[in-house]
Amino acid sequence: MSTTKEREEEKVSSENVDEGNKCEVNVKGKGAAVVVMDTPERNKNQIATPISKFEESPFSNFLNNLSPIKPVKSAHFPQSLNTLSFASIPSVFTSPHVSSIRESRFLRRHLLSDPSKPEFASDNSVKVDTDEGMLDAVNNSNKPKESFGSEISVVEASHECSKLAVELARSLNYECSDSPSTLPTGGIRGKSLSDFAGSSVTYVPLVQDIFGKGLLRREVNMDGTNEIDPTKEPSGCEWENMICDATDILIFDSPGDPEAFTKATGPNFRSFGFVSNEMQNMQDFSQVSTSEGGGDGSESEKPSTQPGDETQVKEYSETQNMKPDSSLTNDGMGVGQSEKTDNEMVSTLYRGMRRRCLVFEMVGPRRKHLDEGSGSSSVQETDGNLACNEKQVLPPKTVNESSRCILPGIGLHLNALAASSKDGKVVKHEANNASGKQLLIASGSAVSLHPIVTGQESLNKSLAETPGEGAIVPFENSVPLMEDVCRVPGYVNNEELNQTSPKKKRRRLEPGEGESCKRCNCKKSKCLKLYCECFAAGVYCVEPCACQDCFNKPIHEDTVLATRKQIESRNPLAFAPKVIRSNDSLSETGDDSSKTPASARHKRGCNCKKSGCLKKYCECYQGGVGCSINCRCEGCKNAFGRKDGSIFIGTDGDAEEEETDAFEKSIVDRTSHKNIVQSDVEQNPDSAPPATPLAFRRPPMQLPFSLKNKPPRSSFLSIGSSSGIFASQGVGRPSFFQPQPKFEKPFQSIQEDEIPEILQGTNTSPISGIKTSSPNRKRVSPPHCNFANSPGRRSSRKLILQSIPSFPSLTPNP
């Protein structure tokens, strides 16, 4: 009892001290991702509501904890989880810089977490979860403590966690002699942040989600640990190292360990699953396994497991799968100590057994559990994602849901993104409208997402490394960047967001914002021509599509790929994003001041004659970009910028107003993007803001091909500021949103990669020169093809024209 009081006191004190931090942390957690992603302003706005909610909830929770009264968590939780997951993701994804930020966060979190786990504070990893979890934990802590009855159990749990971490490390081959008890997860994050922005990133979200659920559980345990654990303070450094290593291993191993990852085509998915599993395991361990005993146990376990790293990993994953289920079903917290004790004994005994046995089945079951049993957000999210993915793409390839999600490749990714975005919006809207948008935007905008990007990159790399993925879906591969970007964010979002039925989400998305998930209504093209938006976007047709005789499905992958190649052979940029965001780059040209269209440009330019570039018929307008020199439009009144170069100049008041609005929005986005991407942009004026991971994925081969061979009509001039634009548009005008979607995909994923590559490769400068010289000029000489080689600019991300790369990548060049 005294312990409980102490805990409370600690928490309280920590809260008092850290309240500010908490708030910030929460904000960051949620908003961080968002903020990073796009315009801070939006994020702030959007986030604000959520944050406030969170804050309140945590506060209330803490207060409750302090007070004898124990409030029930309930509603806040899910949101917090979602938000957390998002936030966490970005943070994780964020580049090293981000990591630094994170560290700060961690610190804060630690403070927060400290209350529950002063000792663990050293472990950054745990903290994040704790933040969310804190609340829950706080609420739960009281219960759990009571239920636990003995602190020992808690301690054991913590040990188990450490064990889990250790196991992970083992699997990785890393032996962390000193694994801080619980932190493994945290450690992972930390690592991901610093080291593996990309890979880690992907994991992180899951982790967070898991934490969201599991943390609560964990925290409960943690609380107990805190009291007891003081003895165990792990060295943060060591722990982090271990985690990092583990994460690395996990990530990298993932490909290697097909089993562990299961069949999931998408590395992301795998990673997620893996992480989630770990997390769950951790939780489970904390909850279940106590018997093995303290930190020592963890180490002891390590040695045992170490024998085969891979095997261990698999086992680990298996165990994760197993555990998660059990844990999920039990909810960790729900299970009484008695159960735990029983389970613990058993669990400890069978751990190894389970792990190994579970191995492959893990994913599927787990998810099911999640879906079925745990109402927890994480589960839902995963489900939602899966569902979405399944619908969209997957079908054939992936057996597992998870695999489905991932596998679909482009289609999936894009769809997922779209769906996710929509879902995110929808779902979040429930909780927080703003947050939802942010998420979406974030997902959408590769730029802002650095973290995401990084994550994607890592993912991409992993994918590239992993034979399965690439081999499986060429088409998917080609999609890469876009998809990746989308995937990650979207995916995450979906998971998080898709608490409800994925289908619903998709549908919602489609109709409303729907762009992310493009729907087509093709009747004669069989969805194998660019007429088909889905096909053009590099996505497989999904349920929402009303197409007839559709061949744009995973089943017909070969056909799709072949067709793609054909089209690409004709026009290498055919699948490149139509709109390229140069926003940043444009700014260089002076566009920025103008806000005008320069920020982003349509690759080819439009050819409107009757619409005045004021309707969606106009691709430029649809893409939320101004018309450029490349445009051959007549009577251009594009609100985003006229081809005259007068960007906005809206001769018409309306147009001007619109433009201004759009600009402002775009500017905001840009600014955000710029902030993030600036370096890149600066380096590459043309470059799209986001440093997408695409580059990794992109098979330079493809692009060079297409580009060199045939520069499409237009040059890449267009800007890739899409994210910004979209975001802005999305916020500001619905109409834009719609248009954006199309571009978005390309934007985010593709543009950056493509452009940069192109630019780089094509030293021919034409593009760059053109862009720089005249922002509006869309038609830069296409030929920049060299992009592949251009070393100079590459140094920077040179996102430049992702458009090209993305697609090329998609094409099964290999």
Partner DNA sequence: GAGTTTGAAACT
Partner DNA sequence: CAGTTTCAAACTC
Q: Which of 172, 244, 522, 668 binds DNA (CB under 7 A)?
A: 522
Give the interface segment with DNA, choosing from 83-91, 434-442, 520-528, 693-701 (CB under 7 A): 520-528
Decide: is 625 part of the binding site for DNA (CB under 7 A): no
Instruction: Give me the least distance between CB of 562 and DNA, in Å please.
Output: 13
Q: For residues 430-489, which are near DNA according to CB under 7 A?
A: none
Phi, psi of 720 (to 5 degrees): -105, 15
Nearer to DNA among residue 670 and residue 779 (C-beta): 779
DSSP string, 384-430: HHHHHHHHHT-TTT--SHHHHHHTTTHHHHHHHHHHHHHHIIIIIHH
Q: Cα–Cα–Cα angle for 760, 761, 762, nearest 5°? A: 95
**Interaction of residue 567 with DNA, rule CB under 7 A:** yes
Shortest approach of DNA to residue 168 CB, angstroms?
A: 46
CA distances, 708 to each of 637, 700, 711, 766 (Å) = 33, 12, 6, 13
Residue 529 contacts DNA per CB under 7 A: yes
Q: Check residue 629 for interaction with DNA (CB under 7 A).
A: no
533 is an interface residue for DNA by CB under 7 A: yes
Instruction: Tell me whether residue 567 or residue 691 sits nearer to DNA (CB atom).
Output: 567
The rounded distance, in Å, linking the Cα atoms of 78 and 454 is: 26
Measured between alpha carbons, how far is 733 from 154 in angstroms, rounded to an integer? 52
Rounded Cα distance, 621 and 805, in Å: 23
Minimum CB separation of residue 391 from DNA in Å reads: 17
Sort strands 800-802 and 600-602 into parallel, antiparallel or unpaired: unpaired
Smallest CA-to-CA distance from 179 within 94, 309, 282, 254 is with: 282
The single residue among 531, 682, 701, 769 that binds DNA, judged by CB under 7 A, is 531
Do 584 and 680 meet the contact criterion of CB atoms below 8 Å apart? yes
CA distance 607 to 628: 11
Residue 745 lies near DNA (rule: CB under 7 A): no
Nearest-approach distance from CB 560 to DNA, in angstroms? 12
- Is residue 536 near DNA by the rule CB under 7 A? yes
Nearer to DNA, 32 or 567 (CB): 567
Closer to DNA by Cβ: residue 206 or 532? 532
The continuous run of DSSP H or E covering 581 comes out as strand 579-581
Given 141, 448, 738, 790, the residue binding DNA (CB under 7 A): 738
Sites for DNA among residues 120-139 (CB under 7 A): none
Residue 609 binds DNA (CB under 7 A): yes
- Closest contact distance (angstroms) between CB of 609 and DNA is 4
Which among 431, 491, 480 has a CA at the least distance from the CA of 276?
491
Is residue 512 involved in binding DNA (CB under 7 A)? no
- Which of the 8 DSSP states describes residue 235? P
Report the alpha-carbon distance of residue 698 to residue 696 in Å, rounded: 5
Rank residues 283 and 714 by Cβ distance to DNA and give the closer one: 714
Q: How many CB atoms lie within 10 A of CB 371?
A: 18
Helix (H) or strand (E) holding 579: strand 579-581
Residue closer to DNA, measured from CB, 495 or 619 = 619
Q: Are 468 and 808 in contact (CB under 8 A)?
A: no
> Quick one: 5 or 609, whose CB is closer to DNA?
609
Q: Is 562 in the site for DNA (CB under 7 A)?
A: no
> Any contact of residue 751 with DNA (CB under 7 A)?
no
Contact pick of 480, 739, 761, 775 for DNA (by CB under 7 A)? 739
Contact between 611 and DNA per CB under 7 A? yes
Query: Closer to DNA at the Cβ: 23 or 573?
Result: 573
Contact assessment for residue 168 and residue 258, using Cβ atoms and an 8 Å cutoff: no
Reference 82, options 496, 505, 498; nearest CA is 496
* In contact, 251 and 462? CB cutoff 8 Å: yes
How is residue 415 annotated by DSSP?
H
Distance (Å, rounded) from C-alpha 788 to C-alpha 629? 25
Cβ atoms 662, 583 nearer than 8 A: no
Residue 616 interacts with DNA (CB under 7 A): yes or no: yes
**CB crowding 453-462: b at 16 or more within 10 Å, else e:** bbbbbbbbbb
The yes or no reply on residue 578 touching DNA (CB under 7 A) is: yes
Q: Is residue 524 within the footprint of DNA (CB under 7 A)?
A: yes
Q: How far is the CB of 523 from DNA (least distance, A)?
A: 4
Should residue 523 be labelled a site residue for DNA when binding is judged by CB under 7 A?
A: yes
Member of 618, 703, 780, 801 binding DNA (CB under 7 A): 618
Q: Which of 519, 601, 670, 673 binds DNA (CB under 7 A)?
A: 519
- Which region among 28-36, 412-420, 571-579, 685-693 touches DNA (by CB under 7 A)? 571-579
Residue 2, classified by CB atoms within 10 Å of its CB into exposed (0-12), middle (13-18) or buried (19+), is: exposed
Smallest CA-to-CA distance from 181 within 145, 250, 245, 227 is with: 227
Complex with DNA: residue 722 or 738, whichever CB lies closer: 738
Q: Which stretch, 75-83, 108-116, 272-280, 515-523, contacts DNA (CB under 7 A)?
A: 515-523
Minimum gap (Å) between residue 519 Cβ and DNA: 7
Q: Does 33 bind DNA (CB under 7 A)?
A: no
CB 692 within 8 A of CB 749: yes
Q: Sign of the C-alpha dihedral, residues 596, 600, 604, 608?
A: negative
Which of 67, 100, 231, 521 touches DNA (CB under 7 A)? 521
Tokens coding 714: 């237009």
Query: Is 606 a residue that touches DNA (CB under 7 A)?
Result: yes
| CA nearest neighbour of 494 among 482, 480, 479, 509 | 509
Stretch that binds DNA, among 144-152, 267-275, 600-608, 644-652 (CB under 7 A): 600-608
Q: How far is the CB of 662 from DNA (least distance, A)?
A: 14
Phi, psi of 52 (to 5 degrees): -55, -45
Q: Of 413, 604, 642, 697, which lies in the binding site for DNA, with binding defined by CB under 7 A?
A: 604
- Using rule CB under 7 A, residue 5 touches DNA: no
Q: Does 636 bind DNA (CB under 7 A)?
A: no
- Taking the complex as a whole, how short is the minimal distance between the CB of residue 634 and DNA, in angstroms? 8
In angstroms, what is the minimal distance from the CB of 524 to DNA? 4
Q: Between residues 130 and 740, which has the closer beta carbon with respect to DNA?
A: 740
DSSP string, 334-357: SS-HHHHHHHHHHHHHHHHHHHHH
- If the CB atoms of residues 518 and 797 are measured against DNA, the closer one turns out to be 518
Distance of alpha carbon 110 from alpha carbon 187, whole angstroms = 12
Output the furthest CA–CA distance in the chain (Å, rounded).
Answer: 79
Total site size for DNA, rule CB under 7 A: 40
Q: Which stretch binds DNA (CB under 7 A): 116-124, 190-198, 480-488, 609-617?
A: 609-617
The yes or no reply on residue 537 touching DNA (CB under 7 A) is no
DSSP symbol at 720:
B
In the structure encoding, which two tokens stand for residue 64, read together? 């409750």
C-beta of 770: minimal distance to DNA in Å? Answer: 16
Q: Contact residues for DNA (CB under 7 A)?
A: 519-527, 529-533, 536, 547, 567, 570-571, 574, 578, 604, 606-612, 615-619, 622, 633, 735, 738-739, 742
